[in-house]
Structure 1
Amino acid sequence: MKISLKFEYKITLAYLLIGGLWILFSDKILHTFAKDAAYLTQLQTLKGWFYVILTGVLFYILLKRHLERLRKAEQEAKESDRLKTSFLQNISHEIRTPMNGIIGFASLLEFDDLPENQKKEYIKIITKSSKQLLSIVNDVLDISMIQSGNIKVNDEIVNINELLEDIYTVFSPRIPSKVKFILTKGLDNKSVFVLTDRSKLRQILINLVSNSIKFTEKGYIEFGYYIKNKKLKFYVEDTGIGIKSELHEKIFERFRKADNNLMRLYDGIGLGLAICKGNIDLLRGEIGLDSKEGVGSRFYFTIPYKTRNRAVELNSLESDFVANPKNESLILVVEDDKSNLRYVMEILRRAQINYAVAKNGKEAVEICKTEKNIFMVLMDLKMPVMDGYQATKKIKDIRSDLPVIAQTAFAFEEEKQKVLESGFDDYLSKPFNRKELLKIIKEYQQFN
């Protein structure tokens, strides 16, 4: 085992070693060279002063080093407190802004004399504010899970070109008119499959592209990837405001938002890049930055290019839903919350999917015993009488091949893992949108 000693300990050990040898042998040596008693006394006095000076120098070095460490620790603590205070002030502002839009426009919808077009406009504002608020909550949860190490990597085969095209489609409508949006793919647009965590990779790219859009008013935004040295290297490049060189390392720290007046004009709680770095570390990659203030920035990161011998493309699930030809087939929705139940029912009704409803786990089990046309169960977890876990176990005893999908508000990875280990076939994280619900229905419909 290799032992590494601090500088202070090395000096102390050397001092003790030299001092001990000197004490043992110095008098004999002095007697050899100095026969005269007066001369010997002078030498012994000089020896004493030598020890005093050496001890003083050593004490000064140790004290100086200790004080430097204390000052550095104090500065770091003050900076950490300042950043956290600034972060809390910023997050308070960022939360209150969309909350004001949600509460304010929801109250305005109560007026009976509102024109229809104005109602639609208010609903759009409420929806946009809700998504903004959800994004803030997700960022805070993500950074807390990364910080606690309470997050796992779920590897799957990912079609990289398809993922990037999806991100391009999502962001294209949001690009400013004076900005050119460019997607560059590797290997001459051939499909590239890699074994990695799709959701984390997508989140990293979305955060980086979103940042570029936020800080770029004209010029271009380009993102893409290439393969080099058995690694996938992704990049997002823009002609935005750029970042000062002294902030290049600090900008990936938690609670750090580029601290200049220009960047304070833009929204955000300053967690996006810290989340990117945390996710990239989990994927065993590296992230870097080339940027010049007033010119633009280029963020890049790598992940291992891991593949399997044979990549199998799953059937495309791009369309919202393909209606089930068997009109008698239905989905059982198990939910005790009236607003959540109404939301799911409305999605299913508009997609022309038949459904049955149960308000707790016990009702769901009874319906599954008698109703043979159920091809999927959407199961809430926390319910009165019988919870989702107990109900799923009993339903699987009745029909082991019946897919049961958990509707969960859990955000932590181990909670999601518990759901899958408890007999559920899959899960939908609340809040979910129409497309996510119909996509999972279509996926399990294909197996039935």
Structure 2
Amino acid sequence: MLSRLKNWLMLGARFDGTTTERRRWLFIIMLWLTVFYNFSFFFVNNPGYDPLIHFWGGVFYVCLFVALRLGLTYALSVNVGILMAIFLVDYVAIYTGGINSPAMVWTTVVVLPAILLLGRQSALFWLVGVLVSNGFVLLGTLGGYFNPNADISNSALLWALLTKLAVVATAMLIGYFSERMHHLQVTEIDRSNADLEVTHQALIRAQAHKDEFIASVGHELRTPMNAILGLNGILRTELSDRPEDTEVVDHIRRSTEQLLHVVNDILDFSQLQAGLLTLRHDDFAVADVVQAVMAVYRPKAQAKGLQLHADTRMVDTLWVKGDRQRVLQVLKNLVDNAVKFTMQGRIQVRVQPVGAGVLFEIEDTGIGIASGRQAQIFNRFEHADVQTNRQFGGTGLGLSICESLVKLQGGLIGVHSIQGQGARFWFQLPLRRVAAKEGQAALEVARTLASRTLKILLVDDNAVNLMVARLMLKKCFPKSDITEVASGAAALDRLRQKPFDVVLLDMVMPEMDGLDVVRTMRRDFADPVRQMPVLGLTASANPVDRDKCLEAGMNDVLNKPIDQQLLIDKLSALLVLTATGRAA
């Protein structure tokens, strides 16, 4: 019974719970403290006024507590309690000396609970209220309405002493409670920060696991696609005189390329989000990039009855330095969208030099984009509208990736569209111009290499990938002498037996991977093997893996599925460096 009464009175509560709960508990303590003070002054009275005011004051605060327990709002209870305290102080002061009354010392602490219980704005309001109250007592005293002479008789001394002791005790309690609440708040903040740090570390680990999972899935998907696309190209050559079979082969290739496109989008998006994607700096012809895109999408446009035209007259001789693969990727994505969302009419691609960069424009006569959606169209997972998503599908990552890639290269991208009348997408990149003859020299090198007998060591643990790479090398360099091995240890044995012009080395292999092989070549072998150019092969699109290959000693890296033109370009560049004595 006693325990239940104690809990109902909330005397057993502590500084637990939320800030609001602690404030409520502190208000309850102050209520009971005020009840104690009122009944104490009822018995230790001052002859100048009727002590019944303290009795009724105590009863009032008990009723206020009951009302709070029965549902009266906390804020209203606190404000009513402070107002009653000011009234009691003024009442006693009027009869015990006016502005000179010892009771006026209570005005220094009566507003302090407002700071702890309600906050700064309410405390400021009650400070003004106390000042008004003091002004009222002062004016009444100066006007002769209140007796200015405090009672200093022996009967009033105990009352005055108790008043001052109560004020000091109250001020100390409020200070203690204030410090205690501050300490608890700091402790809560520290605990929250610790929890946030734990959560942050968990999120970092989760992100790392996600990146590893995506990279692993990407590697496992790209590896067989390398075989499918490679063999598809070879099969198409073999069946070139059989149109029906060629059409089937083309369907296989288009489906595989579509899947590869989705996989690449997911990998690129993950790397862009993590800030891991890095740029290359290649010399390339702008017109060649545009024509490469046209070669891919012109058949698709013609199949839909669309006219796809590229105007490259202003950049026909323009060579620039930049990331050719990423420029090609952005242009492909935008042209792919134009072909996808255009049912009839034409698609125009225009390219022109602008200032210190190049401006690409892709204009179509397709379905267009509503003006209200154009600001969000570059957001991830966004489509023009729900109906468009249902009709045309897609991951919703293409335009988001385009925007991220353009910004990564320091460029700008935008769109202007009228719904139902088509759209014009554009992007501008700060591509530095280089001499055209440097690029033409690379083409001449490739032609020269095609007629040479190159000694190539091809290293890959996957038999299908070995076959695909060998057939592709034979197609690019018909006179090449290709040696195939399926492990890192076997590659080192062959390097001890005979010299090669270049090594194509897979990064991931069991027992001894490509990184260990190239480190051993650079560390333990003598020239010319130590300086032999090494082209890494990997199905990983993670730039971290590319950096690992370069740090280990590889001269360059080629991603799977292998692009035939990139293979020619990279091998040509490496062999030119070797010929001039600059291979690393």
Normalising to structure 1: TM-score of the pair? Answer: 0.70
1:346 aligns with 2:464: no
Does the 8 A contact of 2:535 with 2:554 survive in 1? yes
Letter in 2 for 1:358: V
Distance, in Å, in 1 between the alignment partners of 2:509 and 2:494 is 16
Letter in 2 for 1:174: K
414-423 vs 152-161, which deviates more? 152-161
**Structure 1: which 5+ residue stretches go unaligned?**
1-11, 39-94, 110-115
> How many residues are matched?
362
Report how far residue 335 of structure 1 moved.
1.5
Report how far residue 290 of structure 1 moved.
1.1
Does the 8 A contact of 2:452 with 2:480 survive in 1? no
C-alpha offsets along residues 272-331 of structure 1, whole Å, 9 cap, x if unaligned? 1111111122122332211111100011223335557x786232439976555554x421
Report how far residue 355 of structure 1 moved.
0.8
Using the aligned pairs only, state the percent identity. Answer: 29
Partner of 2:458, secondary structure, is strand
Partner of 2:498: 371
Partner of 1:261, secondary structure, is helix
Partner of 1:143: 269
Pick aligned residue for 2:561 from 403, 427, 431: 431
Q: Identify the structure with the greater helix proportion.
A: 2
Partner of 2:487: 360
Residues 1:183 and 1:401: Cα distance change in structure 2 (over 3 Å): same
Does the 8 A contact of 1:242 with 1:291 survive in 2? yes
1:201 aligns with 2:319: no
Distance, in Å, in 1 between the alignment partners of 2:536 and 2:481 is 19
Letter in 2 for 1:331: I
Report how far residue 13 of structure 1 moved.
9.2
Partner of 2:533: 403
Distance, in Å, in 1 between the alignment partners of 2:251 and 2:299 is 17
Larger radius of gyration: 2
RMSD after superposition: 3.6
Pick aligned residue for 1:256 from 379, 382, 395: 382
Partner of 1:441, secondary structure, is helix
1:237 aligns with 2:363: yes
Distance, in Å, in 1 between the alignment partners of 2:144 and 2:289 is 92
Does the 8 A contact of 1:323 with 1:353 survive in 2? no
Partner of 1:294, secondary structure, is coil
Letter in 2 for 1:338: A
**Structure 2: which 5+ residue stretches go unaligned?**
1-117, 146-220, 236-241, 580-584
Distance, in Å, in 2 between the alignment partners of 1:305 and 1:347 is 32
Partner of 1:246: 372
Report how far residue 405 of structure 1 moved.
0.9
C-alpha offsets along residues 22-77 of structure 1, whole Å, 9 cap, x if unaligned? 24633345557788999xxxxxxxxxxxxxxxxxxxxxxxxxxxxxxxxxxxxxxx
Does the 8 A contact of 2:463 with 2:486 survive in 1? no
Distance, in Å, in 1 between the alignment partners of 2:508 and 2:521 is 16
Residues 1:318 and 1:21: Cα distance change in structure 2 (over 3 Å): farther
1:412 aligns with 2:538: no
Does the 8 A contact of 1:241 with 1:295 survive in 2? yes
210-219 vs 392-401, which deviates more? 392-401
Pick aligned residue for 2:286 from 160, 163, 171: 160
Residues 1:286 and 1:18: Cα distance change in structure 2 (over 3 Å): farther
Report how far residue 383 of structure 1 moved.
2.4
Report how far residue 124 of structure 1 moved.
3.0
Partner of 1:241, secondary structure, is coil
Normalising to structure 2: TM-score of the pair? Answer: 0.55
Does the 8 A contact of 1:321 with 1:439 survive in 2? no
Distance, in Å, in 1 between the alignment partners of 2:425 and 2:481 is 48
Letter in 1 for 2:487: N
Residues 1:321 and 1:304: Cα distance change in structure 2 (over 3 Å): closer
18-27 vs 293-302, which deviates more? 18-27
Partner of 2:207: none
C-alpha offsets along residues 343-401 of structure 1, whole Å, 9 cap, x if unaligned? 122223443421112221122112112213x1111111222342211211222333232
Partner of 1:242, secondary structure, is coil
